[in-house]
Amino acid sequence: MPKFKSPVKARLQGWHLKRVPFPATPFVDPFNSDPLRNGAVFARDLRQTEITRIRHALLKEGFAGAVKPWAWMWAQKKLGGSLGMGKTALLTYITDQINQDYGRKFFGHAAHWLAVYVPVHPTTKSVPELAATALACVCNEARGTSLDRLLLGRIRRKVIMLSSENEYPSEVRQAAESKFLDDKWLSNRGVDLTRLATTVHRHLRECRVSAGFAQAIAEGSLHQYLGTLNGDANLIPARPSLTAKALTLLLNDLARVVNAAEVKRVTFLLDDFYYLVKRTPPKDRIDLASELRAMAISGGASYYSVKENLYNWIAVMHTNTAYTFSAAWESVDLHKVAPLKLNAEESVVLHPFPVYQGKDLLEAFLRFQRPSHPPYDTYPFSAEALAAIVALSAQGKPGADATFEPRSLLQAAYEVTCAALLREDVNPPLGPAFVEHVLTGVPLSEVADSDEDVAPSEKLLPVATSCLCTCHTDEESDILDIVAIVAGGGSREKGQQILGYRCMACNMPTALPIPAEAKQH
């Protein structure tokens, strides 16, 4: 019996949409493969000033010798406001821009630069745990080629160029650097990957990289190697077995790999760094500052990365937390390197967005993954409807001083879009009256107004479950793609509260009875 396209899918196609274009959970999750979730949708114009300051004030236009080993980025908010101000999307965007060509376009010259985005989880309570998270992020492939893979490509090219002229085909020796990341391309041109891995391993051992780490890099298996050390393939949060080795692996072994790959600088962007400060008891904060100083600045005798000046660290500090750390920071003279002051010359301050920019953010999500060209840019919304969503999501007093935060704005846009798709009597252009009907009097998802808020995340259900939202009635077989939105994402504790479910294909929310076998997990 023939299958017919579901009403939801047909309406999405008629509205020139691939799926609901706004994230179901409006928190950026850099480890999520969904581009609506991992920060891939970015409205550059909204943060152009901050991008310029990061390039100029913090990264010194890509001249590694001028960059300070530590710098601050500030998340500033009004008292009582919530987070969700777009800093994670900015930091992941900066990371991607640098890593796409080792900083050439971002800086305007061959900077030989790489960057690592590191989310500091609210439970992080030590510098070794921070280092373990950074190692996990070095292996992250959710947003594209991982940093360890980029390093492998450069070292492959290096050892091939150092080999005898007849050992590899001229086509390989003259290939663009990106080709050395492609195993299939190399194999199709006669390169023995096992032999190449042995050569890379030998070169890294000559650079004093430890045997296990060198083998993992050479074979492209760093994530598996760290998982073995950790005793768990899930590296975040790390277990004590990996945490105990993390600083040595990050600051010595990885740094030697970086140097072998002839990369001049790796920038670590520490998002939500203030969580580590808050988790450290006041009596231990001087020790925390001392450990950070050793990790970034004064540990030359212990850490290869410090001795060779290969790394720098940009940490996001919350304005409401900084004062509790300032005394400890100054006690070890770190204020002489990076003053813990909001308006210091070499710092970047992230302010909430003014309301008039909200429409630009919504349009960026509407433009992303359009399967066909719509009648106008804001379709299926009218321009007035987008303005109404922004106005109803505004923080503070109406008028010129009102601001919005991406978190609440995207949540409102998601709710309005889903409501429209499910009502056959609503058709484009969606106007402000419908927006007010959906949002007025219906409370949006509450977000904690303190530093302790924990972003919801998503997980696949523990049993194979088909989507019940009728999106897949035109497929030949069921698609098992339901995800649960859970409170306190990232924790491995049992008993997490399930906030809802959504379909990964169309992004629609769906009511889902939990099978008995799922309840047992």
pLDDT in tens, 141-161: 988 899 999 999 999 999 999
Residue 337 scores a pLDDT above 50: yes
Q: How confident is the model at residue 520 (pLDDT cuts 50, 70, 90)?
A: very low
Q: Is pLDDT at 490 greater than 50 in this prediction?
A: no
Over 80: is that where the pLDDT of 102 sits?
A: yes
% of the chain residues with pLDDT over 90: 56
Q: What is the mean pLDDT of residues 276-292?
A: 95
Q: In this structure, how many other beta carbons lie within 10 angstroms of the beta carbon of residue 3? A: 10
pLDDT of 191 above 60: yes
Residue 83 has pLDDT above 90, yes or no: no
Ranking 267-271, 342-346, 501-505 by mean pLDDT, the lowest is 501-505
Whole-model pTM? 0.84
Separation CA 346–CA 91 (nearest Å): 17
Least confident of 124-128, 322-326, 385-389, 392-396: 392-396
pLDDT for position 518:
44
Picking from 83, 189, 82, 207, the residue whose alpha carbon sits closest to that of residue 151 is 207
Confidence of residue 487 (pLDDT cuts 50, 70, 90): low
pLDDT value for 359: 92
What residues contact 367, with CB distance under 8 A and at least 6 apart?
A: 377
* Mean pLDDT value across residues 193-205: 96
Residue pointed to by tokens 């692996």: 249
**What pLDDT is recorded for position 450?**
41
| Whole-number pLDDT of residue 346 | 81
Per-residue pLDDT band at 96 (split at 50, 70, 90): very high
Q: How far apart are CA 222 and CA 273, in angstroms?
A: 25
Sheet holding 311-318, edge to edge: 113-119, 265-271, 311-318, 70-75, 347-350
The DSSP bridge partners found for residue 484 are 459, 501
Q: Would you say residue 443 has pLDDT above 60?
A: no
39 Rama class: left (phi>0) / alpha (psi -120 to 50) / beta = left
316 close to 73: Cβ distance less than 8 angstroms: yes
pLDDT at 477: 45
Omega before 237 within 30 of 0, i.e. cis: yes
Cα–Cα–Cα angle for 37, 360, 439, rounded to 5 degrees: 75
Q: Please give the pLDDT value at position 483.
A: 72
In the three-class reduction of DSSP (H, G, I as helix; E, B as strand; rest coil), residue 104 is classed as helix
Q: What is the pLDDT of residue 85?
A: 59
Report how far residue 456's alpha carbon sits from residue 436's, in angstroms, rounded to the nearest whole number: 26
- 128: pLDDT strictly greater than 90: yes
HSE-up of residue 61 (Cα within 13 Å, Cβ side): 2
In the numeric block, which tokens belong to residue 156? 């492959």
pLDDT band at 365 (very low <50, low <70, confident <90, very high): very high
Average pLDDT of the chain to the nearest whole number: 84
Tell me how far apart the alpha carbons of residues 252 and 150 are, in angstroms, rounded to a whole number. 18
